[in-house]
Structure 1
Amino acid sequence: MSSEKDLDTAFQEAYEKASNTSQKFPPDIMLMFYAYYKQATESSGIYITPPGRKDVRNAFKLNALLQIKGISVEEAKRKYIEMVNEYITE
């Protein structure tokens, strides 16, 4: 149980670091941040396009989510933390 709490704490810290960075990333990296975050926080596996939003951006988001389909919430949190540690150098 404590390791799950440690993972949750590390994930929250990584999210805060990512949310507050001024670094810019290529679209493919941003999409992976998005996909791992969504899988970690909304693991229903269902992607619903927001009403009135049928643009290319949503297609790319859906594609990123499909690429990681099937990974657990815990694995998504670990991958998100790894990405933050790798890409955010501030």
Structure 2
Amino acid sequence: MIEEDLEKKFQEAVEIASFMTQASLPQDVQLRLYAFYKQATFDKSNFTVTDNSDLRNAFKTNAWIQISHLTQAQAKKKYIKLIHSLIK
């Protein structure tokens, strides 16, 4: 997939996701979407570690760590695929 096409499809998937409510998605799906989005859009130059022991943030961080081996392009593709599986 050409990078421009991938970015366009990713932005379209983000737009679709913006209309989904948390109540409509199981928590494991929310965490996967968060992790894929975070990996796809992460700018390592702005990374800061916060001392936030909030359990919700711990789950989000764990979900992200589990997929941190993916490239940004791979994460975008997985995000797009997951969004499209949810709207079917």
TM range (shorter): 0.7 to 0.9
- Aligned counterpart, 1:48: 49
Normalized against structure 2, the TM-score is what?
0.85
In the alignment, what sits opposite 1:20? 19
Ranges in structure 1 where 5+ consecutive residues have no aligned partner? none
Offset of residue 7 of structure 1: 0.2
The structure where helix makes up a greater share of residues is 2
Preserved contact between residue 47 and residue 62 of structure 1 (Cα < 8 Å): no
Helix, strand or coil at the partner of 2:60: helix
User: For this pair of structures, how many residues does the alignment match?
Assistant: 85
Alpha-carbon distance in 1 for matches of 2:18, 2:61: 21
Using the size of structure 1 for normalisation, the TM-score is 0.83
Aligned ranges 1:1-90 → 2 under 5 Å: 3-22=2-21, 24-44=24-44, 48-49=49-50, 53-89=52-88
Identity %: 44
Aligned-partner Cα distance in 2 for 1:81–1:13: 8
Contiguous gaps of at least 5 residues in structure 2: none
